[in-house]
């Protein structure tokens, strides 16, 4: 059955999967959502014996229905290959009573690799399918990890260019060095004097600028997105929750049909939304536990039904979650309105004009499967230290937010279901914060001394992604004001 995609703000906009992936964002500023969430057509017992690549195909074929079997399998096999340092692609590690789904074994050691390894292949295939002759310009904002993963995925991919904006003082030193040393003649990285929300808003404004679109088209270019607003990012993320359940079954940790809980450290809401889609496809997930850091706009939303971004923006040790405008939440809001694009558009307009919207009691009832929690900076550091001292397992700051929220949830609820925690980044990406949490004495060390010390402490091999940047040259050093973002793009593309 064919699935089409419509805008969260206008039900009359309907496109195929490949067209939605190409566009990234709908012309009215809405996000593309599937006409329905399809049910898995393979029994979980069958999935249990499948490889990651095979599970991914079973998920993607149901959502990306205008791609052929050959096209999808080719995209999948090019994405999930030796770039990943484990054969399982997304291994499950049991530690202190929970199962950590390690999503950081790709080229840039963060969960964004899981989708951004395949997006370039889905996008270039979509361009051919739709007879696109323009060069595709990937325009994206990053809070730290999306940028490098997108750059790595699209570097030197024929027919594409990529521009990444990041908050100059809002990412970790390792994250920044990963981006500014990126090779590839088609890559551009720009720091902005602002935060992630401002970078993301600037990117959205360029997408919605019709004069800019005409200038681009006249010069043989068109925009697309690698942010999680692109449905080509979201759909591949569903696969790893399906895979996690299948592996628990395969390893006799659960019985078929047994419910599990899922905890996701959440900023832009795409990763937990993928778990929600997996649940709605038929995976027996009970609670979707949304873990926030001190930028707890989502925690407050799930508690009160009011989304309010009018608050202080806090820079934390988990910078990929330092977000006050969670773009993918719009897709969930659309679903709980009963797929009412008009109602959703009204709420998003309120957010845009006042910074606040409130959902109805009926809508809030449909969020019963979600639980919000948050972890303070002190709690996050304690979680890293305690887990290491108890088990020897070292997690990064984002995973620690989720782990801390999980512990609090169990204490408050007595819910002891088997639980999968999305482990979204390698501790090597946030060495200073991680090592300081374990012992303050490490703060005197340099960034790469800390890398070597972490290797000794955790007995985990240093990822190639870290070795690659030890002595890499800075190739991107542009920094601009927020209002200069369009000019930075024009300069890179040679547009007047």
DSSP symbol at 6:
E
Burial 357-389 (b: 16+ CB within 10 A, else e): bebeeebbeebeebbbbbbebebbbbbbbbbbe
Select which of 112, 129, 247, 296 is catalytic: 112
- Residue 112 falls in the annotated catalytic set: yes
Distance CA 445, CA 430 (A): 14
Distance CA 317, CA 170 (A): 10
Q: Is 80 helix (H, G, I), strand (E, B) or coil?
A: coil
Distance CA 208, CA 27 (A): 7
Q: Is 412 helix (H, G, I), strand (E, B) or coil?
A: helix
Distance CA 431, CA 248 (A): 30
56: left (phi over 0), alpha (psi -120 to 50) or beta: alpha
Tell me the sheet residues that pair with 39. none
What distances in angstroms separate CA 62 from CA 34, 41, 52, 69, one per listed residue? 10, 9, 16, 11
Tokens 């108890």 belong to: 390
Q: Which residues are marked as active site?
A: 112
């Amino acid at each position: 059955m064919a699935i089409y995609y419509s805008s969260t703000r206008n039900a009359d906009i309907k496109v195929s999967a490949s067209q939605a992936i190409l566009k990234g964002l709908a012309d009215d500023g809405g996000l593309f959502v599937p006409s329905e969430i399809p049910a898995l057509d393979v029994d979980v017992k069958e999935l249990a014996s499948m490889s990651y690549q095979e599970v991914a195909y079973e998920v993607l074929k149901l959502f990306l229905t205008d791609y052929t079997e050959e096209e999808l399998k080719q995209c999948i096999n090019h994405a999930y290959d030796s770039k990943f340092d484990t054969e399982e692609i997304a291994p499950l590690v049991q530690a202190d009573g929970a199962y950590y789904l390690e999503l950081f074994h790709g080229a840039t050691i963060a969960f964004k690799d899981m989708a951004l390894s395949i997006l370039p292949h889905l996008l270039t295939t979509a361009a051919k399918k739709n007879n696109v002759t323009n060069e595709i310009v990937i325009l994206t904002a990053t809070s730290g990890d999306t940028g490098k993963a997108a750059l790595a995925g699209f570097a030197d991919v024929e027919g594409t260019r990529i521009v990444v904006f990041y908050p100059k003082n809002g990412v970790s030193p390792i994250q920044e060095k990963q981006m500014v040393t990126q090779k590839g003649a088609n890559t551009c990285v720009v720091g902005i004097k602002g935060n992630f929300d401002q970078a993301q808003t600037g990117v959205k404004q360029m997408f919605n600028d019709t004069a800019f679109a005409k200038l681009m088209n006249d010069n043989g270019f068109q925009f697309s997105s690698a942010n999680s607003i692109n449905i080509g990012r979201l759909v591949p993320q569903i696969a790893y929750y399906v895979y996690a359940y299948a592996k628990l079954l395969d390893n006799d940790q659960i019985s078929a049909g047994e419910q599990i809980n899922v905890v996701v450290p959440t900023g832009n809401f795409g990763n937990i939304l993928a778990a929600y889609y997996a649940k709605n496809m038929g995976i027996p997930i009970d609670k979707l536990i949304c873990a926030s850091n001190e930028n707890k706009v989502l925690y407050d939303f799930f508690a009160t039904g009011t989304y309010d971004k009018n608050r202080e923006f806090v820079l934390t040790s988990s910078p990929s979650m330092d977000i006050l405008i969670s773009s993918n939440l719009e897709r969930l809001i659309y679903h709980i309105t009963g797929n009412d694009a008009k109602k959703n558009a009204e709420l998003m307009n309120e957010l845009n004009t006042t910074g606040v919207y409130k959902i109805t009691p009926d809508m809030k009832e449909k969020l019963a499967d979600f639980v919000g929690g948050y972890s303070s900076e002190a709690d996050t550091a304690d979680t890293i230290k305690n887990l290491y001292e108890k088990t020897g397992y070292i997690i990064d700051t984002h995973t620690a937010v989720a782990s801390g929220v999980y512990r609090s949830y169990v204490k408050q609820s007595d819910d002891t279901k088997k639980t999968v925690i999305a482990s979204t980044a390698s501790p090597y990406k946030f060495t200073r914060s991680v090592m300081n949490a374990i012992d303050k004495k490490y703060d005197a060390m340099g960034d790469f001394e800390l890398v070597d010390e972490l290797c000794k402490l955790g007995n985990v091999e240093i990822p190639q992604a870290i070795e690659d940047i030890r002595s890499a040259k800075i190739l991107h050093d542009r920094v601009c004001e927020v209002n200069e973002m369009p000019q930075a793009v024009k300069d890179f593309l040679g547009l007047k």
